[in-house]
Amino acid sequence: MRFEYNIEAGNFTKAGDASSSFKKILKQLNVDPQVIKRIVVSLYEGEVNIVAHANGGKVICDVDTSRVTIQLIDVGPGIPDIEKAMQAGYSTASAKVREMGFGAGMGLQNIKNNADELIIKSEVGVGTKLTIIVNLNKI
């Protein structure tokens, strides 16, 4: 099953809408609540990154019997140094974004800690693609 969501650049009032909607679907599919939490944390952080840093993008969530694969694809500035971006506390967020309590350099770490697999591909001046895989524990 595939679910797609568009993410608007800079619109923090809609940040989290995709996560919220996908969480409801996962609940309906009877996914283990602990696994739902890990998926939702990863998706939310990815969503906020697109809102805060990119010029917009989309989320594609694929659910099969063994795992959930989330692709977050944005058009934006890209990440020049992925290794640096992965460091806890490193952030390029604007002052406005930081005032809201985002941009503490924890987002990608949160994704890494909650996903079974995280793949980041980025091209400067073009955009970034995150692929997040969470395995489904059978109940």
Partner 1 sequence: MQVKDIITTLNLTVFGGIQGLAHEVTGGYTSDLLSDVMGHAENGKIWITLQTHKNVIAIAALKDLAAVILIKGLEPDADMLAQAKEEGIPVLGTNDQAFETTGKIFNLLSH
Nearer to partner 1, 37 or 84 (CB): 37
Q: Which is nearer to partner 1, 39 or 136 (CB)?
A: 39
Q: Which is nearer to partner 1, 85 or 126 (CB)?
A: 85
Query: Under 8 Å CB-to-CB from 17, ≥6 apart: which residues?
Result: 5, 47
Helix (H, G, I), strand (E, B) or coil at 70: strand
Q: Min. distance of Cβ 126 from partner 1 in angstroms?
A: 26
Q: Answer yes or no: are the C-beta atoms of 43 and 18 closer than 8 Å.
A: yes
Kindly tell me which of 15 and 54 has the beta carbon lying closer to partner 1: 15
- Min separation Cβ 105 and partner 1, Å: 8
**Nearest distance, CB of residue 17 and partner 1, angstroms:** 8
Q: For residue 129, what are the β-bridge partners? A: 73, 121
Given a contact cutoff of 8 angstroms between Cβ atoms, the answer to whether 19 and 44 are in contact is yes
Chain contacts with partner 1 (rule: CB under 8 A): 12-13, 15-17, 19-20, 23, 37, 40-41, 44-45, 48, 100-102, 104, 106-107, 109-110, 113
In angstroms, what is the minimal distance from the CB of 112 to partner 1? 10
Phi, psi values for residue 64, rounded to 5°? -125, -170
Nearest to residue 20, comparing CAs of 53, 61, 67? Answer: 61
